[in-house]
Every structure is written in C-alpha cells, then in structure tokens.
A and B are shown apart, each in its own frame.
Chain A
Amino acid sequence: MGDVRSYEHDVLVIGAGGAGLRAAIEAAAHGAKVALICKSLLGKAHTVMAEGGAAAALGTVVDQDNWRVHFRDTMRGGKMHNNWRMAQIHAQEAPDRIRELEAWGALFDRTADGRINQRPFGGHTYQRLAHVGDRTGLEMIRVLQDKAVHAGVEVHMECTVIKVLVVDERAAGALGYFRETGRFALFRAGAVVLATGGIGKAWQVTSNSWEYTGDGHYLAYDAGAELIDMEFVQFHPTAMVWPPSVRGILVTEGVRGEGGVLRNSQGERFMFRYMPEMFKGDFAATEQEADAWVTGDRMKNRRPPELLTRDVVSKAIVKEIEDGRGTPHGGVFLDIASKRPADFIKQKLPSMYHQFKELADVDITKDPMEIGPTTHYVMGGVKVDAESQMSTVPGLFAAGEVAGGMHGANRLGGNSLSDLLVFGRRAGQHAAELAKRRGRPPASPRAAVDAAVQGALAPFERPTGENPFAVQAALQDVMQRKAGIVRDRSGLEQTLAELERLTERARHVGIAGSREYNPGWHTALDLRSLLAVSEMTARAALERTESRGAHTRGDHPDSDPKQERRQVVVRRDADRMTVRWEAQPELPADLAKLIKEGA
C-alpha cells in the first residue's frame, strides 16, 4: 500500500450533491469529524441542475395543504409501492428542511405576502414546490456548500471511490483515487454514507451526466448490501429532441406547471385521452377548465392533464409518436408561447428560454418546443431503514437518489430535492451517532486494498486493449433499445446475454497514457458500476411481470395487485447476482384509510 495516502474520520460521506452535503452538515453538527468526497468539483453534482423546485407542504399558497395530502400524493404517484414510512417521514419533515434552508441563506421566490412561493407540479394536489425561477438546485447546492465548508467539513474534490471497505461485516471506510494525480487514498471511518446519486448514464438518451454511472449502487452491492426496486427507472416526459447533440437534455416540468401544454402534430391536446382510472375526477375534463385553472381559478377548476404523473405522460408521448402523430424530429410539441406572455415566460423559466435559444435556435416565447422522453431518475436503490437510512450492512448508510423505497414505482417531481434534505439529515445524524459509539475505525484489510488497487491499474497493462468508450456506448445502446420505457421478456433476456458479453469485453479494455487526469481510465473503472446496475435493472425488470408506474412490460400491460406491495431484492452472493421477492410491511390502517378516502 506504499503510495496509498491514508485518512481517518468519524464519518465519511461519499457524494456532494444535496444528500451528501446535508448529511455532512448534520454529522458535523453532531460533533463528528467529517470527510466529504466527490467525483467532480464541489458544487457541480446533479443537484445543481435541478430546475423546477423542492416539494414541501408549507401551505404558503394553499392553506389546505399539509403533510397528509403530500403523503397521499406521493403514495399514489408511486403506485402504492413506496416504503410508506419513508413517504410519511418525508412529507412530515420536508417543510422544516425548506425553512431551514431559508435560515441558511436560500432565497426562494416569494408570495405576495412575503413568504416562500410554491408552484404547481405533476401529481401534487396543490401548489407545493418551493422554487427559484428554474434554477432551484443551484440555489440549494450553493447554500449547502457554503454551510458545509463553514462547518469545517473536509472536502476532497475529484476523488472517485472504487471500494467500500468492510471489516468484521461492518463498513469501515473506502478506497478511492484522486483524478488529478491518479494516486490512491484510503479513508478509514466509523461510518460511511453513500450519497452518489443515480444510474442514468446506462442509457443513451439521458438527462444525466458522466458521473451517473451508479457507483454507489455498485459499491453497496459489492459491500454485500441489499438493493430494491431496480426495475423502476423514471423516464422524464420532456427533454429536448433536436438538434441531435442536445437530445436528452431536460426541459423542466415547470414549463407545464406554469401553463405549458402538450400537442401532437395535428395540434391536438392529447393528454385528455390518457387519463388513468385512479386519477379520473382529479383533473380537468375540458380545455376550457384546464385553461381557467392555469389563469388562476384553482379552487373551482381542476388541474390540466399535462400535470399527470411522469410515467403516464411519458407513455402517452411514446404512444402518440408510435401512432404517427409525432413531430418531424420524433417528439411532440410543448407549447407555452400561446398560453403565457413573453415576459412571464422569461421571468419564470429563464434558463429554459436561454437553453432553447442558444442550443436549438428556438424562441420559446414565440414557438413551441419539440420534446420527448429521456432517462432521468432511478427510484430503486440501496435498501435502508426508514428512520436511520442504514443499509443492511451495519455502518453503511445511503441517502438521496442512491437509496431506494421512498418513491415507490414512480417519483413525483420536486420530491427528490426534499428527499435529499430530509434523509440526508437523518443519515448524517445516525452515522455520527454510530461512529461515536464505535470509537476509532479498525485497521483496513490490507489484502482487499491491494487487490482493489491492482484491479484498478490493470487497464494500463493493456495499452492496445479495446477503447472503454466503445464498450460504454455499446452498453448504452442495448439498455436504450431493450430496457427502456417499454420492456418485454425476450428483450430483457437479450439484454442480460448482451451484458454478459460486455462484461467480458470490459475485462479487456486498455488504456494508453498516464494516470494523471485520464478520462479513458476513469471510464474504464466506471464500466464496472454501469454493468452491475444495468444487470440489476434487467433482472428486476424480468422478475416483475406486471406494469406499474415507471416499469412498463409490453407483455404484461396490466398492474397485478398481488405485486403491489412486493418488491424485488438484489444482492451479491459470491460472484453471482441473486434476486428474491420480499413482501413490504402493510400500511397502518389510518394511513391506508387516508389514501383511500382523501386527506
């Protein structure tokens, strides 16, 4: 371990998005010595890209809103598959977490009486998203970033973790490498929090960046933890489709929240035709009613169907395109220009205006946007205890997108940013308490560290091996074609066979050049995580023989009530991936009643 630098902390947080930062702040507030590691520079995590807002029943716009309504919306949006306790904690604690951000300096948009304003979003009964124009994530990450550095959290930027160390069946730290130098570092810690975000880079059309290779999912799996719900991957209905180089870049749901409508190539507002049984009666029946709601009369009129949950809208768009009513570039139209004045659009959606103008030569205050679905968010992830966020490996915690359960089969927009705050805080607190109880971390297992270092350096011994970017592209291609919005048995079986071939190819990738800031090498190492999360998704998707939320099986188009509260659990058994079914705890009677009868 000669050139491996060693550090010791009470709590190690892997990932510096909203969840990791909030966890680090809380752990430090509990007196822990905290290290925070991230793959990119500080402040560049996915959280910075979040646009629309953070959902919390603050009741500043509609006083009838409260945690019960938010809980009910979340469960219904998740198609009743959520971990009910997480959904409850989230709905109850989100308002405090948002107010706390304000106390730390966040400047949300305001209501006329000077309180935090809230915008409507898909699946939320009332206006519920605290926001800052369409750059809510930027505001949130900046506030948390400044809070964390002023709280004395030690930050290691551009450091990628490749292994979580387990000693005596407990998490005891992690091994990573600094991207700048290619040198390795060992972080020993009493507790480890995974906050690494999602897996969207496994698909070709995605709103996610190079970081989203599912590292945390893989690290937990490798450490022996259980993962759940990996078949549930959210395809966001609205992303840019043209020009080709911007395909997949997100168009915030805020556009629809502010009155944008979806039309097919015949000019029809097609969403009226796609109302699911569960939500009939909650949404406007006519265009007139929907328009009246947009322009202000929200008590007498019901919401436009464009604000149905993302799974429903994505599937509707795919169907319109399939049936030949798509736009010239294979999308549908999203039009806000005909519904709102130019000044309003520029004030509420400045970065969307800028994005279309600069990248697509489209002025969204004059013309409709062409949009289509993109891979966006993974509901599945590390199985955690709802109260503490600890995984099935003692000492290993997970919070944010890498954790599973909270969002069930489909996440509501805005529920991620609040999830990061609520569960990041809980993970940080419990990790700090556990680390205190455990005392100093144990020595790390030398053999495991050496093996991981050697494995990581292996691609340099094959300077003429295959290009890792080519293997990554092949993986994205198969996931896009066979494990995308609509799956079926034969496609998923082909995916698994192809992933096996790709795993073999990944073993032979080679790297030329040095260890210093070498993206080819980084990509080669990320392949391991990408392959693992792709396999988890394909296996879990094959198991679930029904359609529910974001998981759509062409060969099993209906929901099966028997599978509603059961979940697929993935785990490592030696070198093999195993899957099993597990029943989730039943909802307590009062909450079940609340969902059935309304809040």
Chain B
Amino acid sequence: MSDPILSVRNLTIDIPMSQNTMHAVRGISFDLKRGETLCIVGESGSGKSLTSLAIMGLLSKKLQRAATRLDFAGIDLMSQKLRQMRDLRGNRMAMIFQEPMTSLNPAYTIGDQLAEAYLLHRKATRVQARMRAIELLGKVGITAAENRLSQYPHQLSGGLRQRVMIAMALMCEPELIIADEPTTALDVTIQAQILRLLADLQREMNMAMILVTHDLGVVARVADKVAVMYAGEVVEQGTAKEIFGHPRHPYTRGLLRCIPVPGRSKPGEHLGSIPGMVPSLVGRVKGCAFRARCDVAEEACTAAIPERRMESGHAWRCIHQAAERLSP
C-alpha cells in the first residue's frame, strides 16, 4: 500500500463575524493517494470550495484554518510560510476553478499566462516555456496551438477557456490537482469532453485529483472515492460503488432520491425531496446538523454523533448503526 500524498485530519475553517463565529468547515478528514480521484459532493454553501482553498493555502486572511494534520507529499502545509506555499502552488499542486474568466487575466495572452508558472518554477527559458505551452495545449485537445498562444482569453469559447485552464494547471506536472466545479458552467456535451480529458491526463500523469461538484452524475462517473458534505462536515465517505450502491447516511440517500434518472425515476411522478433548509452554522453547532430535515431523527441526534466505519473504509456520521433502520 502506498502512502497517501494528501492527508487531512480535523480540518476546520472558522469565519469571524461581527458578533459571533461561523463554523463553515467542521472537522474534515480524508486521505488521497497518487492516481486517485476524490469527489467532494454537496449542495451550495456546504463548504466544498473553502475546503479546496484551505488545502491550497488560498483562504483569505480573515478566515481561520486549523487542522491536526494537513500533509502534502510529506510536507506539513500548516507550518508552511507564504513563500513556501507559493513555491508549491502551480508547481507541485494546482487548482482549476469553475469560471475560467475569473482566473485568466484578460490583459495577457494565453501564451504568456501558460508560460508564467513554468518560468517561475522551472527556471526555464522563454523558448522552453513556449514549447511546453504548445505541448500542453495539444494535450488538452486544442488544435492549432501555436496560433492560440497570441490570443486573449475573451477570444475563446467557454469550453476552450476551460481547456486552457487545465493546460495551465498541468504545465509543471503537479502531483495534486484540485478542480472546483470545472464543468458546471459548461454545456453537457462540453462537460463530457472536459471530464474525459481530465480523467485521461490524471491517469497519464498519475496525479491525485480532488474534484468538487454538486452533480451526482459527474461524481458517479469520475470518482474513486466520494466525500459527501453537509453543513461543513463530511457526513459520509467511501468508494463510489459503496456510496451509490449502499448509501448509509440519510442525507446521501435523500440526495440520490432527488435526481431524475432516465430509466429509473418514472416520468411525471414525484421525485424524492429533502424538506426544510440547511441550519445556520453561526455560533455553537450541536449534534447532527441534518436532524431537522431527517425522517429518522431521534432525541439522541442532538448529542455528539459517532462515526461509523466499515472495514472497507466506508464511513458515515449517524446515530443509526444499521442500514435497516433507515428508510429505503
């Protein structure tokens, strides 16, 4: 068994507010190996992006990050200085964002932006950086790569921009790549192409990948491992087969019943739904955050929730041990 390249234990992120504190991420733990894809799935506001930014060391200063362990390739990220993090980012670890226009600089050509990280981290010459950029654009399926180098971001379609972002993230062959909703703004047709591309490149370069998404279809098709987030916690994690085949947590089960699935849900019939709303995470949060919306909640759900764990690593946070206790 190889060691994990990324190891996260009890990651918390607090957001100070004028009177109180918001506990946006509340004790997340997971491991990721080389060549593995972890999908973090959950509804908006559940803390997926904050978790990604915390790993990359990109949280804004006013947010407070804590963890009992945050190790990347044997490096303790919690104790890294700003400059040391900058040496890692874009080099050994890289990130792809949902909206490429917010992370591509509109004033610089594609070629300049692709070359930047390579020049910085690899002490390469301009010619070498240019060769590498052309190579990467080709890898992400962009034709006539040479001509693209002199183009500006606004001259490209959304799908092409996302490919450029991927090329940029891969310039220095990172060991870890975090993609935060990389296909959410794209058409389904382009989404499929981009996801295939990411999966192929990940395999080829043996990278570890964290893919953040709210789309369960994407998760099922791409993930080796899945972490389901709810209200700042990972409420369930396991292999994709376990999470989709034998979901244990009532929230995961609810989520899977909500989506129309051609051939499974009956057209016109009611979809399952999760009534109620996500609780506020401002101030002290006690017990299971899902209990107000859960149909098997009990008095005991207001107290501390144990983590259940199977030998396979499938784990969930619920007072109910046996799956039979949960509604189908």
A binds B: no
